[in-house]
Structure 1
Amino acid sequence: MRYEGARSRRRGHPDEATDRLARGLGWFSIGLGLFEIAAARSLTRNLGLDGREDVVRAYGLREVGTGIGILTSADPAPWILGRVAGDALDLATLATGLHDRNPHRDNLLLAMAAVAGVTALDVICAETLRHETRRPLRPLADYHGRSGFPKGIRASHGAARDLDIPRAFRQPEALRPYAA
């Protein structure tokens, strides 16, 4: 079954390769998120990040949500940017395990390299989508000859002279200044 959403997603922009990359990143995000949710304990143990299982599960939920957003949105660019931000968060979290006492430091470095590689794909996809989805700006309306007064400024002079101010709008007696 061929996916036809690419053409309707961004009309006038024929780059299906970027759409395929975005969809692939969406599916990858869902798969990674489900893995992080299901295998948080073994993942943290093998990276030397024991005790951070709840953080990894939360990151898994973020990944699943981002993946669904990418696959269902008419414009996946903001969701791909969300992946880039999530990658930065992932790298920062992984960096907390880069100490000499971590017996799984090699695994951690490998995981960081993998995240950095996917981050590069996310950045490339986000940049390409940003350039593809740019819409031409409408020319700004020219208001230089307008005053805001429908009959002109001269017609407004003295227009309120005979205005009877409603009682509710008048200043209460107790708040009026003392008369000299």
Structure 2
Amino acid sequence: MAGIARSPSDPEVQSTGPSSLGASDRLARGLGWFSIGLGALEIFGAERLAWALGLRGREWLIRAFGAREIASGMVSLSANPNPGIASRIAGDALDILVLLSALRRDNPRRENVEAALLAVVGITVLDVICQKGLVARHARPQRGWRDYSNRSGFPKGLAAARGAAQDRAGPLSGPSAGV
């Protein structure tokens, strides 16, 4: 980078390697940013969204969902995105329930609700794929209980350890050792 004062002893980057982020981590990061953007839209555009979906009077709910989206997005951008993606999946379920309630025949914006429902279902599929990938990538391998029944704790074996204390007569050994 030009314009940065560097010491002559500072190491130089000779080449770059692959990212330490896997595909599921990158997807989680993208979903996190998407969630923050959607949350901001829901908070600041609640009236327009309520009108577009035929949900007038539920602006408070749309704003609450926006706050949830932003929180989920921030956690999805953290070092451990699993809780953020899991919270996105739970939020998607709530979004689907609210959209299904707006899918009434008397709703003049029914087509908009259908499009929104299709988009939420698509994003939910991405969230589930991401969650499965994160769990597979970051889970510890399942191992059974380790069997130490064949170990004695004695480096030369139990037979060699038997009687070793009696063979070593020290200053505290013998009949006068007991006080």
TM-score normalised by the chain length of structure 2: 0.68
* Residue 87 of structure 2 corresponds to residue 82 of structure 1: yes
Residue 75 of structure 2 contacts residue 83 of structure 2 at CA under 8 Å; is this kept in 1? no
- Counterparts of 1:61 and 1:143 in 2: how far apart (Å)? 51
Aligned match of 2:141? 136
Query: Using the alignment, how far apart are the partners of 2:142 and 2:103 within structure 1?
Result: 47
Q: Distance in 1 between matches of 2:123 and 2:142?
A: 33
Q: Would you say 1:26 and 2:37 are equivalent positions? A: no
Within-5 A mapping of 1:59-74? 59-72=65-78, 74=79
Q: Which residue of 2 aligns with 1:39?
A: 45
Alignment of 1:1-180 (within 5 A): 7=20, 16-72=22-78, 74-137=79-142, 140=145
Query: How far apart are 1:82 and its partner, in Å?
Result: 0.9
Which letter maps to 1:62? R
- Which structure 2 residue ranges, 5 or more long, are not aligned? 1-16, 150-179
Shift of 1:16: 2.1
Q: Separation in 2 of the partners of 1:139 and 1:123?
A: 28
Whichever residue aligns with residue 66 of structure 1, its letter is S
Q: Which runs of 5+ in 1 are unaligned?
A: 8-14, 145-180
Q: Aligned letter for 1:48?
A: G
After TM superposition, give the deviation of residue 77 of structure 1 in Å. Answer: 1.5
CA distance in 2, matches of 1:55, 1:42: 13
Count of residues in Structure 1 that have an aligned counterpart in Structure 2: 132
Q: Deviation string for 1:120-168 (max 9, x for gaps)?
A: 1000000111111110246547799xxxxxxxxxxxxxxxxxxxxxxxx
* Identical pairs, percent: 50
TM-superposed deviation, 1:113: 0.3
C-alpha distance after superposition, 1:32-63 (max 9, x if no partner): 00000000011010100111100000000000
Could you tell me the TM-score, scaled by structure 1's length? 0.68
Q: How far apart are the structure 2 equivalents of 1:21 and 1:142?
A: 39
